[in-house]
Structure 1
Amino acid sequence: MKTKQLLLIDDDIEFTDLLIQYLSPQGYQIDVSHTGVCGLQKATNSKHYDLILLDVMLPQMDGFEVLKRLRLSHHTPVLMLTAKGDDFDKIFGLEMGADDYLPKPFNHRELSARIKAIVRRMDMLPSSSVHQTLTLDDVVMSPSNQSVICAGKALELTGTEFAILHLLMLNHGNLVSKNDLSEKVLGRKLLAFDRSIDMHVSNIRRKLVQHSQPEKIKTHRGAGYIYMVYK
């Protein structure tokens, strides 16, 4: 198995050393940056990273600004490390394109599970058993190269957003529960008050509606979502 390349951006040196000791034996090659500016430089250079672990509170440039600038040119999966109980950080990070979040302090086994879920999902996208192009109304999705065209315009989706939209389009006209989306895309059961799926769907809707009407993803409150086909 190919060694996975991770970038850890966090200013706590003792914390990053502990994570390296914990994650390296699991087959990860880990680069570390202790400032937002240095982290952004590493994240956008020619080296490919399979995942970025990004702390919110950073010197020189905070994690939100790093994520904002990263998303201008890169769709590398990002796991935000947020303050425990700070819902604003969680929601704001997801709105800006983070793939998932994990509140500090966290159990190292939970971190390992989140990393594995994101990396596994990204590995499955190009080699999905469903290779065929999906065309629904004016949306064309190509799983083989992870591209989405809406009304002739390319959509810039994160890996998580692509996986959610793919699942909804495959099941068009049928209700897909939030728990199914969470388990199949994020790799975990949906917890009470977890708005991760809601925020990712909101981001997808916003990107679709910029180019096409009517709204394609219908919400069934408390249940899930249906991808609507109008033709």
Structure 2
Amino acid sequence: MRVLIVEDSPEVVATLRAVLVQDGHQVEVADNGRVGLELVSSFQPEIVLLDVVLPEVDGLEVCRQLRAFSDAHVIMLTSKDHEVDRVVGLSMGADDYVTKPFYPREVSARIGAVGRRARTPMNDPAVRERVFGDLRIEPEARRVTVAGEEVALTKKEFDLLDTITARPKVVHTREMLRDAIWGPDWFGDDHVVDVHIGNLRKKIDRAGGTSRIETVRGVGFRVAGR
């Protein structure tokens, strides 16, 4: 896969690059946030390993901006381990979070887990257009509209909405959603599901609609009545 490392520590970069190249990945490096954003546009990575503390533009802002034009999977790299930093990173659209110091092989394993994530076959009945009141989901076009107005969602937000609405009578546990969207080998916790669903609900609510995703306490999520 194409992997972009956005990290200002030469030691961390050298260690990660050696392992990733050995594993067969194509690797580019940026030592500050501004260059990182430029490389996301030109290199079009599938994975971005993104440090939180960066010169010029910090990692959280880089993550926020790249989500506007890239579907790359983002794994945050940081020496901070406070829960607030994790939540902020996830709310900006990050897919995973690794706290320094880490083993390069751990990062490589997480990249592999993302690459093995299950995909929904395009001939599956679940790809058909679905309508819930004024909310319309078009899976093949990866398009969501509220009363005809398109709602801009991140890749993970759309995948969650698509997965839950494809089987509206099923209660989807956090584990089910985590395995479907992030893959069964993902190392993080289930909190990432709640963060992305919270962001999804807010975007649809701001568009004047309702996400129709309701929480089943102690179990997971399902689609509210049509």
Moved more, 69-78 or 155-164: 69-78
Distance 2:59 2:188 in 1: 26
Of 161-170 and 184-193, more deviation after overlay is shown by 184-193
Corresponding position of 1:160:
156
Q: 1:28: which partner in 2?
A: 25
Per the TM alignment, residue 118 of structure 1 is displaced from its structure 2 partner at its CA by 2.7
SS state at 2:64 partner: helix
Name the CA distance, whole Å, in 2 between partners of 1:134 and 1:120.
27
Contact kept? 1:82, 1:90, Cα under 8 Å:
no
Aligned to 1:141: 137
Equivalent residue number for residue 42 of structure 1 = 39
1:66 corresponds to which of 59, 62, 69? 62
Q: CA deviation at 1:101?
A: 2.0
2:113–2:185 contact (8 Å) kept in structure 1? no
* Cα separation, partners in 2 of 1:101 and 1:154, compared to 1, 3 Å: farther
Asked whether the 8 Å contact 1:75–1:157 carries over to 2, the reply is no
Gaps of 5+ in 1: none
8 Å CA contact 2:7–2:13 kept in 1: the answer is: yes
1:52 counterpart SS class: strand
Q: How many corresponding residue pairs?
A: 225
Query: Any conservation in 1 of the 2:201–2:210 contact (CA below 8 Å)?
Result: no
What is the aligned partner in structure 2 of residue 16 from structure 1?
13
Instruction: Name the % identity.
Output: 32
C-alpha deviation, 1:99, in angstroms: 2.4
Deviation readout 1:110-138 (Å, 9 max, x if unpaired): 322322333344x8368574443333333
Counterpart of 1:221 in structure 2 is 217
TM-score normalised according to structure 2 size: 0.86
What are the residue-to-residue correspondences of 1:123-142 with 2, within 5 Å? 124=119, 127=122, 129=124, 130-142=126-138
- Is 1:81 the equivalent of 2:77? yes
Deviation at 1:155, TM superposition (A): 2.1
3-state SS in 2 of match to 1:72:
coil
* TM-score, normalization by structure 1: 0.85
RMSD across aligned C-alpha pairs, in angstroms?
2.6
Check the 8 A contact 1:125/1:144 in 2, yes or no: no
Q: Do the aligned partners of residues 26 and 62 (structure 1) sit closer, same or farther apart at CA in structure 2, a change above 3 Å counting?
A: same
Q: How far is 1:225 from its partner?
A: 0.8
Name the CA distance, whole Å, in 2 between partners of 1:98 and 1:191: 14
Greater mean deviation of Cα atoms: 151-160 or 85-94: 151-160
Amino acid at match of 1:30: V
Q: How far 1:212 sits from its partner (Å)?
A: 3.7
Give the CA deviation at 1:80. 1.5
